[in-house]
Structure 1
Amino acid sequence: MSRITEIVRGDLKAAGRNVMTGIVLFGLVVIPMLFAVFNVLASWDPFSRTDELKIAVASADKGHESDLAPISLNLGDQVLSQLSRNDQIDWVITGTDDAVEGTKSGEYYASIVLPEDFSTSLLTFYTAGTEPTQLELYTNEKKNALSTVLTEQGAEGVITQINDTFAEIIGSVGLGVVSSLDNYLEEDDTKAAIDRIEARVENIGVQLRAGAQTMRSLTGMLDSTAPLLEGAGNIARAAGAQFDDTGSDLGGGADATDSLDSTLRSAAASLEQALSSTADSYSAVGDRLDSLFDSAGNAGTGTAATFTDLAARVQQQTDGFRAVRETLDDTVGAALPAGVQAGYDRALAGLDAAIDRSDDLHDRLTQTAQDITDGTADAQASRQSVQDALDRASSAVDSAVTSYRQDLQPQMTQLGDTLDDLGDSIGTVREDLEGVTASFADSPGSLQETLDRARSATVSIADKLEEHADQFEEMADALSTAGETGDFSKLARAAGDDPQALASQLAAPVAVDREAVFPVASFGAGMTPLYVTLSLWVGALLTAVFVRPRVDGEGETYTRAQAYLGRFGIFALTGLAQATMVALGMIVFVQVGAAHPFLFTLCCWVTSLVFQLIVYTLVLSLGSAGKAVAVLLLVLQVSGGGGAYPLQLLPGWFQVLSPWLPATHAIDAMRAAIAGVYRGDLWIELGILLLFAVPFLVLGLWLRGLLDGYNRTTTEAIEKTKVMA
């Protein structure tokens, strides 16, 4: 460590003794700040001076005379009049030929021409089959790439303004005529004209009412969706609770699967043991029958007792059968899936047959003991009857064993394994249910909140449409009365004192309240992360150009690692100074309005140190080729870092490359510091950025020695050119 510190102190002393070195280092520190400051200020608010963009507007509109009344209307002139009072863009009102020619010469950035049928197209919008009104936009794309976008937006602004003011124009030129129709009512064709107006107005009212009904229907659909949403939430919550309260016998959740698995395996073991022991005991009884009947005449009382004892033992086995059978029926059978049920029924039928035959054997043994005691036993007949009963019982037990092993045991074993897997999966299911339940909850961003907002919007729109439908129906009634009586006062009251206000409300019944999330001070403030990142990379490049990366005495006085880390000290200090100046320039001079000034400065420090390490290692390891690689990385990061355009708008290969560029993560971290941190995104991006230092540390500390031969060859080749350095 002392040797590394010795190199750093030596570099600082050398910089302090030489005036020219100090000037160069000062320039290295200041240039990145100037780069960032000038670029951010230049792009601070470029759209605030769009009023200096000249866009020509010409109207070839010939006007329109309505069939409702012999009144000629020219909406093109109305639009030109509106634009002449708009100062967002330098609108130039001129003729069609001058507009097109001026665009070609570059006098205007663009021109917009209203067609000859402009008024006719707008005023007959209600006619079936009518096409949208078409405007002609001429743009001069060689003037400036961005100005083309601005002029197209200007054209969109004209279209928006036409749409927004159309109802107002209709109101001022159409509804405003209501108050001056008294003279026209005295004409011969007054009644026919009023009938046509009444029909049109009534039709508009009907359409508005139908629109309101549609909105009401949509509201009803949303209302009917609410119980479904609530029910789905209840189901999800109930399903989650089921993991804790699934049953008093088997416990809840994963415990239930463990308990059922244990029950299945215990029942299988009990049945296997009962069947095996019964088969063995029946075989032993068969072996003793001959000796027992042979001794029946000599010691009748003792033999009878033996038969009675055998009957008791058979009864014991039969009781064991019944206990196992009840366990299977009460516990296991209800838990088995449908696919296993057929085998289970066959095994159960075999077990029932074994129980019946065992009962019969017990009865025969008991009867034989009684006959021996009474002295009425026919030895040969008793021997045969007991033997037959024993054979039938043994056969039934063997059949039950076969049926159990073939039809039930494999399925129970497989079911037990399945229950083990199910128990492992229940924890995951619980987490999924908790997530689903949260999405149904009445919280910000939930389905319930979205449904409430949608319902409020549909109710508001329906109310507004019905309000306007009432006004048009009232106007139709007034027209009908005016046509019959000549009294036009009701129609004037329906139109109101301000027909333009009525038309304006019809044109825009819904307003949009825009609220920025993580707002920034201006367009330039939004571009700050890109320009700051580029300035720090440029600063690292300049440092590598003016500061020698290699230490004298490397390999002799100092080891490779000592030389590498020691010389990086001057690079790191220069980078920290550059980052500090850039951060202060953005915060104090430019006033980007960073939400977290210290975190922004921290981002600059980390970014500069990583960039200095990358460029220093490349130049030290690859020589002049390392500088070329650093410049290539700069070129890729200008667009690939996503600082200017959304990454989704870039070509596909840029989107794949972007996460592997250090500038991408530096820009995202600075955005969080300027606009606001969301769930630790700043720290995540800084952590990823620091990971880029790892491979370059490996290259500089250990792998660099492998490139010594390449560097010597490259250096000799460059020196031989007598041109390159």
Structure 2
Amino acid sequence: MKVSWNIFKMDLKNISKNWVAAILIGGLVFLPSLYAWLNIYAAWDPYARTDQLPVAVVNEDKGALVRDEQIDVGDELIKTLQDNKDMDWTFATKKEAMDGVEYGDYFAAIFIPEDFSSKLGTVISGKPQKAEIEYYVNEKLNSIAPKITEKGASVIVEKVSSRFISTVNGVVLEMFNDLGIEIEKDLPDIKKFEAYVFDIQKQLPSIHQTLEGIVGDANSAQKIIKKAQKMMPEVQQTTSEGLQTINDTISQLTVAQKRLESASPRIKADLEKVSTITKETNAFLKKVQQTELDFTEWNRVKKELDERVTGSIGKLEGLEQDLTNVKELVEQLNQADSGELESSSSSQPIDAALEKAGNLKDQIQELQNNARTIDVLVQGEEERMKNSINDLQQIAENTSIQADSFLEEYVNTIEPFVREEITQALKTLRNAKGQLLEVQKTIPEVERILVSTDGDLNEGKQQVQKALNEYPYVYDKVNQLANRIESIQAETDINEIIELLQNDPQAERSFFEEPIILNENKLFPIKNYGTGMTPFYTVLSIWVGCLLLISLLSTDIHREGQFTSRQIYVGRLFTFGLIGLLQTLIVTIGDILLLGVTVKEPLLFILFGMLISMVFMSIVYTLVSVFGDVGKALAIVMLVLQIAGSGGTYPVMLLPEFFQWINPILPFTHAIDLMREAVGGIVWARATKDLIILVSIGIFMITFGVLFKKKVNKATNRLLAKSRETDLFH
């Protein structure tokens, strides 16, 4: 080991004394860093500059008329893209777009066809059609650009689809909301309908009985109508007879009215005569009272008084006859008008007049009788005769008063009453005549109505009979409906349905436009793509640095016999390892300070890099030191395999099966994982596993070099000497 250490110090001394060697070694130290830094910087954030990718957009949409409303989805999309900075959108004609894609001026072209809006509008029809967007891409220009532009086209489709879905669902949800409000308004009616159905279900037996009763009543009504139709001729005859009777009665009343008119003056004259006679008699008796009469004179007075009284009695008897005639007339009027009961009531004033006429006649007769008997008293005493004359005068005075009263009552009460009775009777009869005439005119219409009613009743009876025949079907359906309502009530609450239908259309529209929100939670956040690629390019630069060293520096010492193979291997390993560590320090520190890569554990990032450098150097150095030029080829082959199979750029699950198989045994796999842990955040279970595997590989390679360098070099030296004979290899 001491000799090996001396070889290491000798190499450092030689480098420090030879400025050319120092410059070359310095270049080898910095060169791998440039490889890592340039690649990391180039891949720092390529997707942030997609706005520089030219993509042509062609809008040929002609719009459409949907439910009397003009829509132009293509135009709305163009307006949206004008404010979108995801790509360099260029709006062109179809020819310009296709020529641009073909010649490479545009990476892709998106075409919105002329029927774009019209096809979207078919969603309200019975046969909706899907709208299409044409996408053209020139994939030969770049392998990544088509994927980016394809993502842009997909975003356009997603935006249009989400906007369209939100709009359509918004309209539908507004309809649902209105429907929910209407159902809520109609909920009392719905409840009433449910109650109505259940009530009908309960009433079905009574309905059946009612229908049967209607049929029976219809039959009875038809019999009555038939009977009425048969009675119509009799009604016609009775009406005609009634009219004849009324006409006869009116004639009779007219005659009676004339009789009254003729009798009325005579009755008044008789009453006035009686009144006059009674007054004269009273005056005469008063005069007699004041005169001294002898027998002869008294006979003359008595005779004159008797003549006066006899005349009054005659007039009263004529009056009684006239009043009797009037009574009979009134009774005839009332019998023709209203019947026997009212007739007796209406003749009461005439009866009272007759009674008064009789009383008056009785008083006058009493006066006459007293006057005739007074001669007997004259033969007796003179005083008694005077008393008798006084009595006669008092009777005469009372009779005069009653006669005046009777005359006044007749003029003011009896005659107006009789006239009113006649007038009322004539009016009643004329009204009755008018009504009978109207009835007579109506009889033909009644006959027509009876015929029509008979037909309608027959038709109605048939309909009711039909309903009665359909009753079993109706009974079954009503019960089914009632059972269905009960089932629905048991399964669903209509208030829940109303609550479901009622919504906030704007909120629901927003939901359907973006039904799922992706909440991204980064456990180990990586700031950008460059940071994510830093582990891969840093590890790659370390390996490349190892390849540069073994390409320019010799792994052997050309002083034969001075050092053993093992001493040379270990001594030069120290030299190569030191230069590798310097390379790694520069590249890792430069990643953090120069490029500004965000590293979660910067110290561990540097230390892990130094460990990886030692392991990589042990691998590459051992291969070249032991196998010579063959080892160089093996190191390059390992580089190629590790770039493809380590999962540094693509997930290992996406690689072919061969690379998935060799992935766990590749040093790159564990070196990149270890550096990723330092960049994103340490999970020590993973980091420890990677450390163990890397350290194990390094120990194995150094042990292999120490043990097998001398033996393998003998074989490789012969091969090397043979290859140099061609002057092609150094």
TM-score (norm 2): 0.54
CA deviations 1:63-111 (Å, max 9, x no partner) are 2222xx3223221111111111111211112223322222112111101
The structural deviation recorded for 1:22 is: 0.4
Provide closer, same or farther for how the CA distance between residues 204 and 151 of structure 1 changes in structure 2, counting only shifts above 3 A: farther
The structural deviation recorded for 1:609 is: 0.7
Do structure 1's residue 201 and structure 2's residue 175 form an aligned pair?
A: yes
Provide closer, same or farther for how the CA distance between residues 710 and 41 of structure 1 changes in structure 2, counting only shifts above 3 A: same
The structural deviation recorded for 1:118 is: 1.5
**1:545 alignment partner in structure 2:** 551
Report the 3-state secondary structure (helix = DSSP H, G, I; strand = E; otherwise coil) of the residue aligned with 2:7.
helix
Instruction: Give the length in aligned residue pairs.
Output: 415
**2:720 alignment partner in structure 1:** 715
**1:15 alignment partner in structure 2:** 15
The structural deviation recorded for 1:60 is: 2.5
CA deviations 1:238-274 (Å, max 9, x no partner) are xxxxxxxxxxxxxxxxxxxxxxxxxxxxxxxxxxxxx
**1:53 alignment partner in structure 2:** 53
Distance 2:122 2:176 in 1: 16
**1:331 alignment partner in structure 2:** none
Kept in 1, the 8 Å contact 2:623–2:631? The answer is yes
Q: Structure 2 stretches of 5 or more lacking a match? A: 184-496
**2:62 alignment partner in structure 1:** 62
1:48 is matched by which residue type in structure 2?
A
Do structure 1's residue 586 and structure 2's residue 591 form an aligned pair?
A: yes
The structural deviation recorded for 1:537 is: 0.5
Distance 2:577 2:121 in 1: 71
Report the 3-state secondary structure (helix = DSSP H, G, I; strand = E; otherwise coil) of the residue aligned with 1:514.
coil
1:125-144 to structure 2, matched below 5 A, reads 125=123, 130=128, 132-144=130-142
Q: Structure 1 stretches of 5 or more lacking a match? A: 176-196, 210-464, 473-494
The structural deviation recorded for 1:512 is: 2.4
1:560-639 to structure 2, matched below 5 A, reads 560-639=565-644
Report the 3-state secondary structure (helix = DSSP H, G, I; strand = E; otherwise coil) of the residue aligned with 1:680.
helix
CA deviations 1:638-661 (Å, max 9, x no partner) are 121111001011111110011111
**2:530 alignment partner in structure 1:** 524
Kept in 1, the 8 Å contact 2:162–2:512? The answer is no
1:105-254 to structure 2, matched below 5 A, reads 105-125=103-123, 130=128, 132-166=130-164, 201-202=175-176
1:94 is matched by which residue type in structure 2?
A
1:638 is matched by which residue type in structure 2?
I
Distance 1:148 1:204 in 2: 47
The structural deviation recorded for 1:692 is: 1.4
Task: Give the ranges of 4+ consecutive aligned residues of structure 1 lying more than 6 Å apart after TM superposition.
Answer: 168-171, 203-206, 465-468
2:582 is matched by which residue type in structure 1?
A
Provide closer, same or farther for how the CA distance between residues 19 and 506 of structure 1 changes in structure 2, counting only shifts above 3 A: same
Distance 2:176 2:102 in 1: 49
1:514 is matched by which residue type in structure 2?
E
Distance 1:70 1:584 in 2: 69
Distance 2:571 2:513 in 1: 72
Provide closer, same or farther for how the CA distance between residues 534 and 138 of structure 1 changes in structure 2, counting only shifts above 3 A: same
**1:3 alignment partner in structure 2:** 3
Kept in 2, the 8 Å contact 1:78–1:169? The answer is no
**1:648 alignment partner in structure 2:** 653
Kept in 2, the 8 Å contact 1:124–1:130? The answer is yes
Kept in 1, the 8 Å contact 2:176–2:501? The answer is no
Whose Rg is larger?
A: 2
* Greater per-residue helix proportion: 2
Distance 2:129 2:644 in 1: 41
* Greater mean alpha carbon deviation, residues 19-28 or residues 156-165: 156-165
Distance 1:713 1:3 in 2: 27
Distance 1:467 1:100 in 2: 54
**1:432 alignment partner in structure 2:** none
The structural deviation recorded for 1:562 is: 1.9
Percent identical pairs in the alignment equals 34
Report the 3-state secondary structure (helix = DSSP H, G, I; strand = E; otherwise coil) of the residue aligned with 1:551.
coil
Provide closer, same or farther for how the CA distance between residues 130 and 99 of structure 1 changes in structure 2, counting only shifts above 3 A: same
**2:450 alignment partner in structure 1:** none
1:456-475 to structure 2, matched below 5 A, reads 469-471=501-503
Provide closer, same or farther for how the CA distance between residues 716 and 77 of structure 1 changes in structure 2, counting only shifts above 3 A: same
Report the 3-state secondary structure (helix = DSSP H, G, I; strand = E; otherwise coil) of the residue aligned with 1:145.
coil
Provide closer, same or farther for how the CA distance between residues 660 and 122 of structure 1 changes in structure 2, counting only shifts above 3 A: same
1:212-361 to structure 2, matched below 5 A, reads none
TM-score (norm 1): 0.54
CA deviations 1:488-534 (Å, max 9, x no partner) are xxxxxxx7xxx7x7744442244222121201121010001110111
Report the 3-state secondary structure (helix = DSSP H, G, I; strand = E; otherwise coil) of the residue aligned with 2:648.
coil
Report the 3-state secondary structure (helix = DSSP H, G, I; strand = E; otherwise coil) of the residue aligned with 1:72.
strand
CA deviations 1:264-305 (Å, max 9, x no partner) are xxxxxxxxxxxxxxxxxxxxxxxxxxxxxxxxxxxxxxxxxx
1:470 is matched by which residue type in structure 2?
Q
Distance 2:599 2:76 in 1: 46
Kept in 2, the 8 Å contact 1:53–1:109? The answer is yes
2:80 is matched by which residue type in structure 1?
Q
CA deviations 1:400-435 (Å, max 9, x no partner) are xxxxxxxxxxxxxxxxxxxxxxxxxxxxxxxxxxxx
Kept in 2, the 8 Å contact 1:165–1:504? The answer is no
Provide closer, same or farther for how the CA distance between residues 626 and 204 of structure 1 changes in structure 2, counting only shifts above 3 A: farther
Report the 3-state secondary structure (helix = DSSP H, G, I; strand = E; otherwise coil) of the residue aligned with 1:590.
coil
Provide closer, same or farther for how the CA distance between residues 23 and 466 of structure 1 changes in structure 2, counting only shifts above 3 A: farther
Report the 3-state secondary structure (helix = DSSP H, G, I; strand = E; otherwise coil) of the residue aligned with 1:61.
coil
* Greater mean alpha carbon deviation, residues 615-624 or residues 501-510: 501-510
Distance 1:109 1:13 in 2: 58
Distance 1:88 1:134 in 2: 22
| Root-mean-square deviation over aligned CA pairs | 2.7
Distance 1:619 1:127 in 2: 76
Report the 3-state secondary structure (helix = DSSP H, G, I; strand = E; otherwise coil) of the residue aligned with 1:138.
strand
2:598 is matched by which residue type in structure 1?
G
Distance 1:11 1:627 in 2: 22
Provide closer, same or farther for how the CA distance between residues 506 and 204 of structure 1 changes in structure 2, counting only shifts above 3 A: farther
Provide closer, same or farther for how the CA distance between residues 81 and 169 of structure 1 changes in structure 2, counting only shifts above 3 A: farther
**2:433 alignment partner in structure 1:** none
Q: Which of 689, 700, 704 is equivalent to 1:699?
A: 704
The structural deviation recorded for 1:467 is: 8.4
**1:260 alignment partner in structure 2:** none
CA deviations 1:158-181 (Å, max 9, x no partner) are 11221333357669xx97xxxxxx
Distance 2:508 2:2 in 1: 84
Kept in 2, the 8 Å contact 1:468–1:506? The answer is no
Kept in 1, the 8 Å contact 2:614–2:698? The answer is no
Kept in 2, the 8 Å contact 1:84–1:93? The answer is no
Provide closer, same or farther for how the CA distance between residues 204 and 97 of structure 1 changes in structure 2, counting only shifts above 3 A: farther
Distance 1:19 1:516 in 2: 51
